Amino acid sequence: MGARLVAGGEGAHFSVWAPNARSISVIGEWNAWDAARDPLHAARGGVWTGFVPAARRGMLYKFRIVGADGVAHDKADPYALMSEAPPATASVVWDHAYDWGDATWLARRAERQAPTAPMSIYEVHLGSWMRGPGGEHLSYRAVAPKLIAHVRALGFTHVELMPLTEHPFYGSWGYQATGYFAPTRRYGEPQELMALIDALHQAGIGVILDWVPAHFPNDGHGLVHFDGTHLYEHADPRRGVHPDWNTLIFNLARHEVRSFLLSSALMWLQVFHVDGLRVDAVASMLYLDYSRKEGQWLPNHLGGRENLEAIEFLRALNQAIHAEVPGAIVIAEESTAWPGVSHRVEDGGLGFDFKWDMGWMHDTLRYFGRDPVTRAQHHRDVTFRMMYAYSERFMLPLSHDEVVHGKGSLVRKMSPGTGGGSARLANLRLLYAYMFGLPGKKLLFMGDEFAQVREWNHDGQLDWGLLAEAEHAGLMKWVGRLGHLLRAEPALYELDHDPLGFRWAVVDDYKRSTLAFLRRPRQGAVILVILNFTPMTWTNYTVPFEAPGEWVRMLSSDEAQFGGAGHDGPERLIADHSAGGALPCAATLDLPPLTALVYRGPEVKAYDAAALELRESLAAEAEAAREGAVTG
């Protein structure tokens, strides 16, 4: 489909799906945009085709479509490989020729992206991450060495690029796409994006791309009313118009529309070597009444609110990706309690590899926004997540959605208590330790690593000048230490989705707003995380253990190098039988205020029969608790 150059580049075949069109011509630079010179011919299945000898690589073109209504419209090619730089809207005859150098990365991709592998993702909007000296966008090639150096320094395993599919309105951040096969021209040609991905891979960094099959904009040159009928979208606005964004919803009952989207997804993975897709707005696809009031939506043929066509499409998408691109992953941004999002299709699930844990994000940010004096009354906000943590393969996101549209920056969400800006940064260090310590993969939006103070603005670049201030530079150093610790310690990632990998040490000390938990690997050193969510120092604080042993401090968020006050906590904890009472063993310490402490403890042996039995028991308890919480 689209424009495909013949061998030697002298001429191109054009194909476009428009079953209800009366006539279609290719208009372009070579024929002075004259619709009479290069007509296409109707073939089977509603596809129009033709060969244009004068078409050459780099030439602009569109389709002149006389629709079923008799009206002529000039449309961009839905399958174009490249588009004219916005705000211009023509398509460009192009190819995908590129000499890749990432074979080593691809050979190990499946291993690096397995549920048992470390994964921490840096979410990036390329147009506003960093700009040139005159405020201009950096090209895909120009941004590559800067982005790679930054990501490697912070220990992230992946970057997630907000949508790069061509989009007419820059302020949509790419979430309203017209070119599902063309990377946006704002930052260069397709081969330049390939070079960026290639360079990231050669630096050991994976690439995830945001992809949007939920809706598309109503720009006249795009998919809307493509052949004079509602071809890609539903005709009935109760199914076809998205009320939140005034966009159009794909008609997934049409197999050609499903094929269009499946082909787009596979192209990004196969041709551009992208390692995974994060599918946007999945919840809006699953529910027919999403964001609609009574009378504004149509039930399915069974009378329910589930979008049966979307469910089948998402299952087919995930099955196709896993079959055609082994090792690639698919992540769902799904904000409801839809069951089995990350379960296998064969088991009744949707087939995604991971699901964003939006509940954790909302609970956590609400908790950190509270004055520490009142946190004791809301302790459940930081413990409830473990009641359902193993119901899906979760990813913990602190994404761009939390720092736009008047929500303020992440650091501004932190309660200052009585400590002002320093307390906000202490809370942010504490938040990141809590996030990196919990089971689940991690995602952090750009700018949050150094506490961007202003709300994110896509029309500029990040406030990199803040790194001249010690506290902001210290926070970024803290994020880097957490990122590298995550990769170095199997306890922090290997059993992310296995109940045996997590155990509370202190869970119900709400009066002092503290938590302590253990992370264990299949085999190796156990990690202890202790969190004090108050500005109080708790002296002789007791942490229980099941066995005696020595625990060595690896990190303290209050160290001066991270912007803290220098209350580092003890270098060692000795767990012994001295506590007496009901505790098998315990260690005591003075717990610094608003501080996270991370200790490395004794090594554990590989799974044995007792451990496997314990895992099954814990999983059953977690499932029962989750069902009880949902019912309640």
DSSP 14: E
CA separation for the pair 464, 17 (Å, rounded): 47
Active site residue 333: yes
The confidence score (pLDDT) of residue 617 equals 65
Active site residue 608: no
Buried b (16+ CB within 10 A) or exposed e, 279-308: bbbbbbbbbbbbebeeeebeeeeeeeeebe
Beta-carbon count within 10 A of 246 CB? 11
Catalytic, out of 160, 166, 189, 280: 280
Distant-in-sequence, close-in-space partners of 371: CB < 8 Å, separation ≥ 6? 415, 417
Q: What would the mean pLDDT of 227-246 be, rounded to a whole number?
A: 92
The confidence score (pLDDT) of residue 607 equals 59
The answer to whether the beta carbons of residues 365 and 434 sit under 8 Å apart is no
CA separation for the pair 73, 228 (Å, rounded): 9
Give the predicted TM-score (pTM) of the model.
0.93
The confidence score (pLDDT) of residue 618 equals 60
617-630 pLDDT, tens digit per residue, is: 666 665 665 555 44
DSSP 480: H
Structure tokens at 374: 């009142």
550-592 pLDDT, tens digit per residue, is: 999 999 999 999 999 998 889 999 998 875 556 688 999 999 9
* Complete DSSP assignment for 506-557: E---GGGTEEEEEE--SSEEEEEEEEE-SSS-EEEEEEEESS-EEEEEEEET
CA separation for the pair 303, 518 (Å, rounded): 47
Scan for tokens 């085999």, then name that residue: 523
Catalytic, out of 102, 210, 333, 357: 333
The confidence score (pLDDT) of residue 219 equals 94
CA separation for the pair 327, 113 (Å, rounded): 7
Which residues sit opposite 603 in a β-bridge?
525
3-state secondary structure (DSSP) of residue 409 = coil
* Complete DSSP assignment for 90-136: -EE----------HHHHHHHHHHTSTTS--EEEEE-HHHH-B-TTSP
The confidence score (pLDDT) of residue 631 equals 39
The confidence score (pLDDT) of residue 9 equals 82
290-326 pLDDT, tens digit per residue, is: 989 888 999 999 999 999 999 999 999 999 999 999 9
Angle, vertex CA 523, rays to CA 519 and CA 528, nearest 5: 20
Domains of the chain: 2-92 (2.60.40.10), 117-357+394-414+445-461 (3.20.20.80), 358-393+415-444+462-607 (2.60.40.1180)
Scan for tokens 């493509």, then name that residue: 226
Structure tokens at 630: 């949902």
Q: Give the amino acid at 528.
A: L
CA separation for the pair 437, 279 (Å, rounded): 26
> Comparing 447 with 618, which gets the higher pLDDT?
447
594-612 pLDDT, tens digit per residue, is: 999 999 999 887 655 555 5
